[in-house]
Amino acid sequence: MPPRVLVFYPYFPTYRRRVLQELRQLTDARIQIAAGITGRASITPLTPHELPELRALREVRIGPLSIHPDILRQPTLKQFDAVVVAPATLSLSVWAILIARRASRRPTLLWGQCGRPGERGIKRIAQEAMNRLASRLLVYGDMEKRSACELGTIPEKVDVVRNASDHNPRIHDLTSEKFVQLANARGVGRIRSKNYSIDLLFIGRVTLGKKLERLIECIELLRKRGYDAKATIVGDGTALEELKSIAEARSFPIDFPGALHTDDELQPFLDNATVIVAPNSIGLLAIDALNNGIPVIYPNSSGENGPEQEALSVGINSVEFSDLSGPGLANAVEHWLNIAPSIDTATFEAEARSSARKWSPQAVARKIGNAVLESLNKA
């Protein structure tokens, strides 16, 4: 009989949906999924409406801490051969599961960010305690594996499972001929005049931390340099109205379509984008870009970048910049426009298709499933 496996998070971000669906399809394990449905930090949580297989849990808040009483009932902890949990240091439920299963020598795996590189302080100490209680760590990238090992976790205990976007990868539906046409439209392998339209696209939460005012300044500078540049900022958040006011006051061509989530809503903006820009940090947006054959401009001096940057190939489908300012972003965009004509379209396509496979929901689910089975074999 296949082993029974519980996957529990205090809440799942919506982009976890397809990975969880793929996990449920695995035939060598019986996967059950449970989570709270109250998000944090403006992150929209996954609910049973989007994922019917999700068991929604009652949550109790104690200041910044959370607990999900139903998941801690004694039968729940004993009936599963393996449990996969979030590395959530503020979840009393996760701590209880880790401690109880460690005491009974039953496998428990942490899936997520198990410590940022160079991070120290109370939060990192708590995270390291979780890492040591767990049987195995499932992290998003090589940089996170190195980080998890900084304070003593052995490399053999850490699996890189990567991360995945919830959106359908359009690249799989494109013939090579069509892909090259799209690449040419973005300047790859084709010299274009300076006055052709450039559409810079950002998708994500519109908060102060995203530093999107740099994008507005970038548009101003590019237009002064003779480029027909415009921007589209897709998303909602606390900084949206202020950014709209700045753009309206300067009469800049910047579109704010609001928060869009479905593939049908997002695809027109992805199709029209010349480049995707990340003024302050890059995360899963890098995967959405590669899945659509769109180059990426992102900072190389930001400690906020996610491991998804490892999917990018600088000089082929991306450009880094170290000057975290509007002029720095404008210079990076112009640098891409200057080097794009000399980039081989076959290499550009090969890199995008390779990343789309490695950072797909199917690949992530398979890696998680393999790690769970290996943990059970060693138990």
Q: Summarize pLDDT for 66-125 with one digit per residue, the tens.
A: 999 988 875 556 789 999 999 999 999 999 999 999 998 999 999 998 877 777 788 888
Of 18, 104, 82, which is closest to residue 53 (Cα–Cα)? Answer: 18
Structure tokens at 100: 């109880």
Do 193 and 108 share a structural domain?
no
Identify whether the C-beta of residue 342 lies closer than 8 Å to the C-beta of residue 349: no
pLDDT of residue 302: 57
Do 364 and 354 share a structural domain?
no
pLDDT of residue 193: 61
pLDDT of residue 32: 94
Give the pTM: 0.90
pLDDT of residue 77: 65
State the total domains in the chain: 2
Identify whether the C-beta of residue 154 lies closer than 8 Å to the C-beta of residue 132: no
- Dump pLDDT digits (tens) for 11-42: 999 889 999 999 999 888 899 999 998 877 66
CATH number reported for the structural domain that contains residue 159 in this entry: 3.40.50.2000
Do 322 and 196 share a structural domain?
yes
Q: Which residues pair with 139 in a beta bridge?
A: 160
- Dump pLDDT digits (tens) for 203-214: 998 998 899 999
100: containing domain: 4-164+360-378
Distances, alpha carbon 88 to alpha carbons 82, 254, 329, in Å:
18, 37, 34
Do 353 and 216 share a structural domain?
yes
Do 143 and 192 share a structural domain?
no
Do 207 and 342 share a structural domain?
yes
Q: What is the average pLDDT across 190-199?
A: 75
Sheet holding 296-299, edge to edge: 254-258, 228-234, 197-203, 275-277, 296-299, 318-321
Do 41 and 120 share a structural domain?
yes
Q: Is the pLDDT of residue 331 over 90?
A: yes
pLDDT of residue 195: 67
Q: How many CB atoms lie within 10 A of CB 349?
A: 20
Do 369 and 354 share a structural domain?
no
Do 346 and 269 share a structural domain?
yes
- Dump pLDDT digits (tens) for 118-151: 777 888 889 999 999 999 999 999 989 988 888 7
Do 14 and 115 share a structural domain?
yes
The C-alpha atoms of residue 121 and residue 323 are separated, in whole angstroms, by 28
pLDDT of residue 197: 85
Q: What is the average pLDDT across 228-254?
A: 91
Do 347 and 208 share a structural domain?
yes
Of 127, 121, 129, which is closest to residue 144 (Cα–Cα)? Answer: 127
Do 180 and 148 share a structural domain?
no
Angle at 198 between CA 197 and CA 202, to 5 degrees: 145
